Structure 1
Amino acid sequence: MSEVLVQSVDNVALLPAYLAAGTAVLVLLVDLLLARPAATVAAAVTGAVATAVGAAAVGTLPDRRTFCVGADCSWVFGGRAALVAALVALLLVGVLALSGPLLRDGRTPVGEYCFLLACSMTGGVVLGAAGDLITLIVAVEVLTLPLYVLVGLRRGSLASAEAAVTFFVVSVVATTLTLLGAALLYAVTGALHLDRLGGLLADGALLDLPLTTVAVTLVVAGLAFKVAAVPFHVWAPATYDGAPLPVAAYLSTASKLGGVVALLAVVQHALPAEVTGPVLATVAVLTMTVGNLVALRQRRTVRLLAWSSVAQAGYILAPLGALALADPDARTGAYAAALAYAVFFVLLELAAFAGVVALRPAGADGGTLDDLRGAARRHPWVGGGLAFALVGLAGLPPALAGLFAKVTVVRSLLGGEANWLALVVAVNAVLGLAYYLRVAASLYGPPGDAVAPAVRPGRAVIAALAVATLLAVVVGFAPQVVLDLAGG
């Protein structure tokens, strides 16, 4: 007689997902019933804050598991999931603050804009707690799908339309590769839950099958597109530059964070380190080197941030490249280092985009680096915030978040056979100084020959810059807390 398995449901564990999805529904209702842009934005902000608070509250409890059949669970909400959910929700609040000038010009539908962002936030919240491949892939797509529309919202802009099409085509290819890899993994193992996959693939007989190697390669390649890792990075600069500035900020922070979390989940729990380690080491070296070298040649602000974001993805992947050489305890530290670096990075990246938005006319694109020359003389506080973010991305004090991010990655690589990779990270960090410090110095230099456009930074944008900078300062003074949460 066959055993009947009963699936458990823990509504407390699902509370952050309920709040995130409820935010999207609330935005639709407020927009439909009140038709007031301010009320719609307020609903989105309120829902996002509630989601962050709910995630933090549930994260203080012991790990909550639900949708379990036996020992296999599709939803595991612990400290890491709480960190990801709260950060994605706060990033949404920051992006909405940056969107004030874009929404006030009347050409962007406020209700649809806020609804799409809230839907994307829901995907990010679910992603951090995903315990099986189906939940993981669906969450990644929920995070990504609304961005196809958001990228193309600059009406009348050919660059925006091209960016949307590029992003759509590349994302569809990436999703196809990931799904095919997941299907092949299921064909090999008969399992979808990440922990069970990891246990089955630890069997040498399964690991030696050519089909297993193909499946692992496809899953890693598909998720590498989401992180914009070389050689799957070409879409990022054009997409960031063509998208509205707040959407580009969301792409380079929340979307990239989601890709990192998805890749980290499958590498840590499901895929064998012996296979993924050498591949990710090569990808990390190529990503940070290509990103930094091409960023040196950029003259457009958003393209420079996009290429530097590619380089930062290389630093994030570097600890994962040493997995095959590390013992189990060192592997746990490598996973925590990768996610902690991503947290430090997205806060500084949001501050950088907030500074660019504040220093550009309402509705304008990121412009060129010459447009920012001397900006700190005209707007000392905003220019100082942007310079702080750039110095932090370079990994220098006084932006301690960026400094500890680099130290965390290098420390996770030292002491084993991955010292060479730590050296590559250090050399690339020095290479990155050339363009980060050049832009930061130009903010305080003499104005260029072109007449600077009149800019009045909005209060919401300045508040977003201030809060992102403050959060970067706070985590810079408490890096171990972030590491502990990232390791949970």
Structure 2
Amino acid sequence: MSEPSLVQSVDNVALLPAYLAAGTAVLVLLVDLLLARPAATVAMAGTGAVATALGAAAVGSGPERRTFCVGVDCSYVFGGRAALVAALVPLLVLGVLALSGPLLRAGRTPVGEFCFLLACSMTGGVVLGAAGDLITLIVALEVLTLPLYVLVGLRRGSLASAEAAVTFFVVSVVATTLTLLGAALLYAATGGLHLERLGSILTERPDLLDLPLTTVAVTLVVAGLAFKVAAVPFHAWAPATYDGAPLPVAAYLSTASKLGGVVALLAVLQHALPHQVTGPVLALVAVLTMTVGNLVALRQRRTVRLLAWSSVAQAGYILAPLGALALAADADARTGLYAAALAYAVFFVLLELAAFAGVVALRPAGADGGSLDDLRGAARRHPWIGAGLAFALVGLAGLPPGLAGLFAKVTVVRSLLGGDAGWLALVVAVNAVIGLAYYLRVAALLYAPSGEVAAPAIRPARAVAAALAVATVVAVVVGFAPQVVLDLAGR
């Protein structure tokens, strides 16, 4: 007697944001091929990003949708958190496209390839938030990351860009290998790949946690994903890669790419891996990451390297709630910790995008980030641009009027106190004070006298100025409505 076949239905509504993102990549190729007009190619990429964000918001406004299911195990789960990520990544892509105007007009970067790779990366980010099993998660994370190897080195005639691309490629391949090996060993130990199934198996059979195979598997998965968020000691690639990449690509690496790593780490920690094992390790990693990032950032004289090291420190703040999971008293406290980590990541990427937009606007077209001295007195020459950059820096420092950054740090500290991790909350507070030194130093430098050397005349591109304005306004609005982000992050 033959076995009954499994009939699997596909929920196309749940997949709509992924369809829109993938369709954007295809249409960008066609427009570039048929019209060969850079403006039309960029417009197509921007229109697709807007459509993807709207599609994600529309689908996410309804009930949770699941597809590619076998029994109760589903490979694609589109709920509030997935909708938040699927809407935010296209908006970040839209911002990066706006920042790329001067770079693309300079003629050293091919427009069609740039927009196509960015759209492909957006597709991975959209799928990542809804991944319900390890295979979908890792593939989506790699689709988000793979195009960036090329984007980092896409600037013709730049040795620094090529070196940054090679550095990023080698380190990221090692991280992916570790993650895949960990996933394979985890499957060998448990027989499951779906995240919720893995969590159930490890909960029902705690003896599996005593196996060396399981310990190695969990370690490799966490270490591989820690590379993606540039957490210490897996952070060394970030400053060199950010500084060598074109400024808009560095902005994308620091925002969408880091957000993808955080989302992937959250998914495996919340649903699959035992918090009593991962919690203490992540607590140590969080302390090292925020401390090393802040201390090294104090010594930086190049703008992008300072932003890169501060981004490392910000990753420590994101990981801090995850390090308190083992100490949380109940499931509600753990849910609050997960929500705080993702909410902080959302606020961070908005302010980071605004900071990079300010730097791009104050630098010549196609130039790198330059040194901090190049920003001296910039706010006197360009008051509105300088005010936007200063606002982003103050927000990253966690001070008013940057309410988004202030709320982010308050949320993390409050969640740590609620999760019985007061010592970790104290470390976060001390590091936040250290971070004030370099953020406020740069903000003050913007308003300092220019000195004897005349600064070059810069006319900020309208698209870059608009991106800075929009990112600033969004950060302000989100700062006044933080509970919405927390609610979506907790779903």
**Structure 2 CA distance for aligned equivalents of residues 348 and 282 of structure 1:** 26
3-state SS in 1 of match to 2:129: helix
Which deviations, in whole Å up to 9, do the C-alpha atoms of 1:457-481 show, x marking residues without a partner? 0100000000000100011000000
**Structure 2 CA distance for aligned equivalents of residues 208 and 10 of structure 1:** 39
Q: CA deviation at 1:202?
A: 1.3
Q: CA deviation at 1:179?
A: 0.1
Q: CA deviation at 1:415?
A: 3.7
Which deviations, in whole Å up to 9, do the C-alpha atoms of 1:248-304 show, x marking residues without a partner? 000000000000000000000000001000000000000000000000000000000
Quick check: 1:371–1:448 contact (8 Å CA) kept in 2? no
**Structure 2 CA distance for aligned equivalents of residues 454 and 85 of structure 1:** 39
3-state SS in 2 of match to 1:74: strand
Quick check: 2:334–2:419 contact (8 Å CA) kept in 1? no
Q: CA deviation at 1:416?
A: 4.3
Q: Given the superposition, is the C-alpha separation of residues 233 and 2 from structure 1 closer, same or farther in structure 2, using an over 3 Å criterion?
A: farther
Equivalent in the alignment of 2:233: 231
Quick check: 2:333–2:419 contact (8 Å CA) kept in 1? no
**Structure 1 CA distance for aligned equivalents of residues 2 and 17 of structure 2:** 36
Q: CA deviation at 1:417?
A: 3.1
**Structure 2 CA distance for aligned equivalents of residues 395 and 450 of structure 1:** 33
3-state SS in 2 of match to 1:75: strand
Q: CA deviation at 1:154?
A: 2.3
Q: CA deviation at 1:450?
A: 3.5
Which deviations, in whole Å up to 9, do the C-alpha atoms of 1:390-433 show, x marking residues without a partner? 00000000010000000000000004431000000000000000
Equivalent in the alignment of 2:387: 384
Counting matched residue pairs gives 485
**In terms of mean alpha carbon deviation, does 6-15 or 111-120 score higher?**
6-15
3-state SS in 2 of match to 1:48: helix
Q: Given the superposition, is the C-alpha separation of residues 2 and 440 from structure 1 closer, same or farther in structure 2, using an over 3 Å criterion?
A: farther
**Structure 2 CA distance for aligned equivalents of residues 142 and 184 of structure 1:** 23
Equivalent in the alignment of 2:479: 476
Q: CA deviation at 1:327?
A: 1.6
**Structure 1 CA distance for aligned equivalents of residues 451 and 322 of structure 2:** 43
Quick check: 1:288–1:310 contact (8 Å CA) kept in 2? yes
* Residue 270 (str. 1) matches residue 272 (str. 2): yes
3-state SS in 1 of match to 2:67: strand
**Structure 2 CA distance for aligned equivalents of residues 423 and 199 of structure 1:** 34
Q: Given the superposition, is the C-alpha separation of residues 416 and 316 from structure 1 closer, same or farther in structure 2, using an over 3 Å criterion?
A: closer
Quick check: 1:389–1:399 contact (8 Å CA) kept in 2? yes
3-state SS in 2 of match to 1:464: helix
Which deviations, in whole Å up to 9, do the C-alpha atoms of 1:136-189 show, x marking residues without a partner? 000000000000010012222221111000000000000000000000000001
Quick check: 1:8–1:69 contact (8 Å CA) kept in 2? no
Unaligned runs of 5+ in 2: none
Quick check: 2:185–2:217 contact (8 Å CA) kept in 1? yes
> Any runs of at least 4 consecutive aligned residues in structure 1 with deviations exceeding 4 A, and if so which?
none
**Structure 1 CA distance for aligned equivalents of residues 293 and 451 of structure 2:** 27
Q: CA deviation at 1:224?
A: 0.2
- State the percentage of identical aligned residues: 90
**Structure 2 CA distance for aligned equivalents of residues 15 and 2 of structure 1:** 36
Quick check: 1:395–1:404 contact (8 Å CA) kept in 2? yes
Q: CA deviation at 1:449?
A: 4.2
**Structure 1 CA distance for aligned equivalents of residues 153 and 98 of structure 2:** 20
Q: Given the superposition, is the C-alpha separation of residues 419 and 48 from structure 1 closer, same or farther in structure 2, using an over 3 Å criterion?
A: same
Q: CA deviation at 1:448?
A: 3.9
Equivalent in the alignment of 1:365: 368
**Structure 1 CA distance for aligned equivalents of residues 28 and 405 of structure 2:** 35
Q: CA deviation at 1:6?
A: 2.1
**Structure 2 CA distance for aligned equivalents of residues 76 and 52 of structure 1:** 17
Quick check: 2:402–2:476 contact (8 Å CA) kept in 1? yes
Q: Given the superposition, is the C-alpha separation of residues 356 and 409 from structure 1 closer, same or farther in structure 2, using an over 3 Å criterion?
A: same
> What's the C-alpha RMSD, in Å, of the aligned pairs?
0.8
Quick check: 1:123–1:139 contact (8 Å CA) kept in 2? yes
**Structure 2 CA distance for aligned equivalents of residues 56 and 439 of structure 1:** 36
Quick check: 1:370–1:448 contact (8 Å CA) kept in 2? no
Q: CA deviation at 1:2?
A: 7.1
Quick check: 2:361–2:385 contact (8 Å CA) kept in 1? yes
**TM-score normalized by structure 1?**
0.98
Q: CA deviation at 1:106?
A: 1.3
Which deviations, in whole Å up to 9, do the C-alpha atoms of 1:47-104 show, x marking residues without a partner? 0000000000000110000000100000000010000010000000000000000000
Quick check: 2:358–2:386 contact (8 Å CA) kept in 1? yes
**Structure 1 CA distance for aligned equivalents of residues 84 and 467 of structure 2:** 20
Q: Given the superposition, is the C-alpha separation of residues 262 and 108 from structure 1 closer, same or farther in structure 2, using an over 3 Å criterion?
A: same
3-state SS in 1 of match to 2:453: coil
* Residue 353 (str. 1) matches residue 359 (str. 2): no
Which deviations, in whole Å up to 9, do the C-alpha atoms of 1:375-400 show, x marking residues without a partner? 00000000000000000000000010
**Structure 2 CA distance for aligned equivalents of residues 88 and 199 of structure 1:** 30
3-state SS in 1 of match to 2:69: strand
Quick check: 2:359–2:369 contact (8 Å CA) kept in 1? yes
3-state SS in 1 of match to 2:418: coil
**Structure 1 CA distance for aligned equivalents of residues 126 and 2 of structure 2:** 36
**TM-score normalized by structure 2?**
0.98
**Structure 1 CA distance for aligned equivalents of residues 195 and 451 of structure 2:** 54
**Structure 1 CA distance for aligned equivalents of residues 131 and 230 of structure 2:** 21
**In terms of mean alpha carbon deviation, does 116-125 or 449-458 score higher?**
449-458
Quick check: 2:320–2:424 contact (8 Å CA) kept in 1? yes
Which deviations, in whole Å up to 9, do the C-alpha atoms of 1:305-349 show, x marking residues without a partner? 000000000000000000011421100000000000000000000
**Structure 2 CA distance for aligned equivalents of residues 417 and 16 of structure 1:** 38
Q: Given the superposition, is the C-alpha separation of residues 188 and 309 from structure 1 closer, same or farther in structure 2, using an over 3 Å criterion?
A: same
